[in-house]
């Protein structure tokens, strides 16, 4: 029996997961991370803390499953995208990692568009420059921390720092690499034009690999720390969204992945590098060789509900809150919620966007407010959905839903009703870590390709059918919701 280890370095924790050659999850463990926000709009973490969490999770999952380390054939990596990890010539971390949800870099985004030309930048990278991406973070360090920048020699993403600690190799997969927005999307590799224009040394950027390719092997030092066997192959893997798409089987055009985690994501595989002309959708390489994908991202999806509960109803469980919302009619009787608690990315790339309840009256209860939060997130995802449909995707045959926000029946039903599409759940619930393990299995020949691996291990387990009776209420609410950001944009800027 062959076994494959998937490692997911997320914002909140490091997960280790082991599957067998049939795709059965045998064990999974997580170790938490801490998050730092030393200034407004900043979001940082210590990469060394990731490594300690990974060590702990690997040790625990090996103990939990009672599998010998020599039986683990390969390791796949995934993790939070876009974060900037800078290392010096000795491989030492130079400063805390700047994360995907950090919003300090709008001036650098404007600088990128001015230097490259916004249309040209979209044409090359498939995206506009946004504060969450890696490229503007590099420029921010150059301009604000020159003493750090002059010592920098390597640029890595979060999971690739773990790869370096495991293997001693500097490497990156093509899906996560394209998320730096320093890629030539068509060529599936670094853009010399972008690097040269922005003054970022080419030698800082690691070689890139397709998701199942082997990038290195576990060193003796890493083996001693983790309990793994030396020389265990480590495959490229993918950023959390691409690996998560593999983990739910969204690896063919027409199958769309919907994730309601801290952030919300609509993920659509494309057979070629399609680009939304205004860059309102992210266009990246897939972790599946030879495929690309569209992605719409809202920054505060389940994070909105988490904030709402922690701020206004800390004494209540999520189940208690959602139970109150079940009796509220669709549309929350005219109450709307804007989920822009961390700014926004799709379709409004604006770090200054703010959250809001709109339409509060004396008749609205806590149940109304809870349901409005759920509906507001669904409307934000519908914004992404509509853009993808209008940007060249030929058809959507199935929506596969995952993430903590889709576990509750009420939120699943709201999503199905707002999107007017059947949602399906699948037998795999471990997302990116499972996808990373599958990519490792493909890399070692357990399956002939990623699509075969997904067909043989991932199966539909449930469906949520939309209720047409709720369409009129949600269409009317969404029409008003769609008008709110344009009306409030100047107000958000004044509140800065």
Q: Phi/psi at 260 (nearest 5 deg)?
A: -115, 80
Q: How many CA atoms lie within 13 A of 57 on its CB side?
A: 27
Label residues 274-288 b or e (16+ Cβ within 10 Å = b). bbbeebbbbbbbbbb
* Distance, CA of 332 to CA of 136 (rounded, Å): 39
Separation between Cα atoms, residue 341 and residue 349, nearest integer Å: 13
- Three-state DSSP at 153 gives coil
CB 113 within 8 A of CB 279: no
- Give the distance between the most distant pair of CA atoms in the chain: 66
**Contact indicator for 78, 7 with CB cutoff of 8 Å:** yes
Contact (Cβ atoms closer than 8 angstroms) between residue 343 and residue 103 = yes
- Pair 256, 400: CB distance under 8 Å: yes
What is d(CA 25, CA 19) in angstroms, rounded to the nearest whole number?
A: 4
Can you say whether the dihedral through the CA atoms of 85, 88, 90, 94 is positive or negative?
A: negative
Q: Are 450 and 246 contacting, i.e. CB atoms less than 8 angstroms apart? A: yes
Residues paired with residue 302 on neighbouring β-strands, in sequence order: none
Distance of CA 232 to the CA centre of its chain: 27
CB 391 within 8 A of CB 329: no
Tell me 188's DSSP state.
T
Which one of 176, 240, 383, 417 is the catalytic residue?
A: 240
In sequence order, the 6+-apart residues with CB closer than 8 A to the CB of 320 are none
Among 49, 9, 43, 15, residue whose Cα is nearest residue 29 = 15
User: What dihedral do alpha carbons 350, 387, 265, 286 form, nearest 10°?
Assistant: -110
Residue 24: partners with Cβ closer than 8 Å, 6 or more residues away: none
Q: Is 240 designated active site?
A: yes
d(CA 73, CA 183): 31
What distance in Å separates the CA atoms of residue 68 and residue 40, rounded to the nearest whole number?
46
Helical H runs in 237-294?
240-248
Asked if 401 and 258 touch (Cβ cutoff 8 Å), the reply is yes
Q: Is the dihedral of CA 432, 444, 205, 184 positive or negative?
A: negative
Q: What is the chain's alpha carbon radius of gyration, rounded to the nearest angstrom? A: 22
- Mind telling me the catalytic residues? 240
């Amino acid at each position: 029996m062959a076994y494959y280890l998937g490692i997911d370095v997320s914002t909140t924790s490091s997960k280790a997961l082991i599957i067998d050659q049939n795709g059965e999850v045998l064990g999974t463990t997580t170790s938490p991370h801490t998050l730092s926000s030393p200034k407004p709009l900043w979001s940082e973490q210590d990469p060394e803390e990731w490594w300690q969490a990974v060590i702990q999770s690997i040790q625990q999952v090996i103990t939990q499953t009672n599998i010998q380390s020599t039986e683990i054939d390969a390791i796949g990596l995934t993790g939070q995208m876009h974060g900037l990890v800078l290392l010096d010539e000795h491989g030492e971390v130079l400063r805390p990692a700047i994360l995907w949800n950090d919003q300090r870099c709008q001036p650098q985004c404007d600088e990128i568009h001015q230097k490259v030309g916004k249309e040209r930048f979209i044409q090359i990278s498939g995206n506009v420059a946004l504060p969450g991406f890696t490229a503007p973070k590099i420029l921010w360090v150059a301009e604000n921390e020159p003493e750090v920048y002059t010592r920098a020699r390597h640029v890595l993403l979060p999971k690739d720092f773990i790869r370096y600690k495991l293997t001693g190799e500097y490497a990156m997969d093509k899906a996560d690499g394209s998320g730096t927005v320093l890629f030539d999307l068509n060529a599936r590799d670094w853009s010399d034009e972008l690097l040269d224009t922005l003054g970022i040394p080419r030698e800082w950027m690691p070689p890139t690999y397709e998701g199942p390719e082997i990038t290195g092997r576990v060193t003796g030092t890493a083996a001693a720390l983790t309990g793994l066997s030396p020389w265990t192959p480590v495959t490229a893997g993918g950023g959390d969204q691409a690996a998560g798409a593999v983990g739910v089987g969204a690896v063919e055009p027409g199958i769309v992945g919907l994730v309601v985690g801290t952030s919300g994501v609509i993920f659509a595989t494309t057979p070629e590098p399609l680009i939304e002309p205004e860059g309102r959708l992210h266009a990246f390489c897939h972790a599946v060789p030879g495929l690309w994908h569209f992605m719409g991202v809202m920054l505060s999806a389940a994070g909105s509900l988490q904030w709402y509960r922690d701020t206004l109803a800390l004494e209540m469980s999520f189940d208690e809150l959602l139970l109150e919302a079940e009796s509220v009619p669709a549309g929350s009787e005219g109450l709307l919620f804007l989920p822009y608690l961390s700014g926004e990315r799709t379709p409004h790339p604006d770090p200054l966007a703010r959250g809001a309840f709109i339409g509060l009256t004396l008749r609205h209860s806590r149940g109304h407010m809870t349901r409005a939060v759920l509906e507001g997130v669904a409307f934000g995802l519908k914004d992404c959905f509509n853009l993808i449909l209008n940007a060249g995707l030929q058809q959507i045959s199935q929506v596969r839903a995952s993430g903590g926000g889709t576990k509750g029946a009420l939120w699943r039903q709201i999503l199905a009703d707002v999107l007017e599409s059947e949602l399906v759940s699948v037998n795999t619930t471990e997302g990116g870590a499972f996808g990373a393990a599958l990519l490792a299995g493909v890399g070692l020949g357990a399956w002939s390709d990623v699509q075969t691996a997904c067909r043989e291990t991932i199966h539909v387990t449930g469906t949520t059918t939309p209720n047409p009776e709720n369409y009129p209420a949600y269409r009317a609410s969404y029409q008003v919701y769609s008008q709110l950001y344009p009306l409030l944009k100047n107000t958000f800027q004044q509140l800065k």
